[in-house]
């Protein structure tokens, strides 16, 4: 897996709008610190939301960060499979394929 968890497009936005990205990152820190869920669990929840919104980049980002936070690939795939009755098989299968393709390339 690549060490840099942020995609090139994110870094382009950061270069052009640093105050905006700083605010986004501060919001993320606030979200992680405001409740009882550990980082791994919260990232798996966010992974599910990313899959539901069909956001490939966000799915990949949350999967990579969940791995870094201690989630296993089995936990990531289980979190996605658990969405089937809510968001449907095609959306789950797409999210799983994005994760598999990205992690196979890393």
We report the CATH number of the domain holding residue 91 as: 1.20.1290.10
Whether 36 is in a domain gets the answer yes
Whether 31 is in a domain gets the answer yes
Give pTM, 2 decimals: 0.86
Whether 57 is in a domain gets the answer yes
Whether 93 is in a domain gets the answer yes
Q: What are the E-state strand segments in the chain? A: none
pLDDT higher than 70, residue 42: yes
Q: Which residue, chain included where needed, has tokens 């990579």?
A: 64
Whether 1 is in a domain gets the answer no
Give which of 10, 14, 2, 21 is closest to 68, Cα–Cα: 2
Tell me which DSSP letter residue 69 carries: T
State the total domains in the chain: 1
Three-state secondary-structure class, residue 90: helix
Q: Which domain holds residue 35?
A: 8-105
Whether 2 is in a domain gets the answer no
92: region left, alpha or beta (phi > 0 left; psi from -120 to 50 alpha): alpha
Whether 59 is in a domain gets the answer yes
For 1-10, the pLDDT digits (tens) are 344 567 788 8
């Amino acid at each position: 897996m690549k060490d840099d968890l942020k995609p090139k497009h994110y870094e382009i936005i950061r270069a052009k709008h640093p105050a905006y990205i700083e605010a986004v990152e501060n919001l993320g820190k606030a979200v992680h610190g405001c409740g009882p869920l550990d980082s791994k669990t919260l990232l798996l929840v966010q992974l599910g939301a990313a899959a539901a919104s069909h956001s490939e980049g966000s799915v990949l980002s949350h999967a990579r960060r969940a791995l870094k936070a201690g989630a296993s690939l089995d936990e990531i795939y289980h979190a996605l499979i658990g969405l089937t009755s809510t968001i449907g098989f095609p959306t789950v299968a797409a999210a799983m394929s994005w994760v598999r393709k990205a992690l196979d390339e890393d």
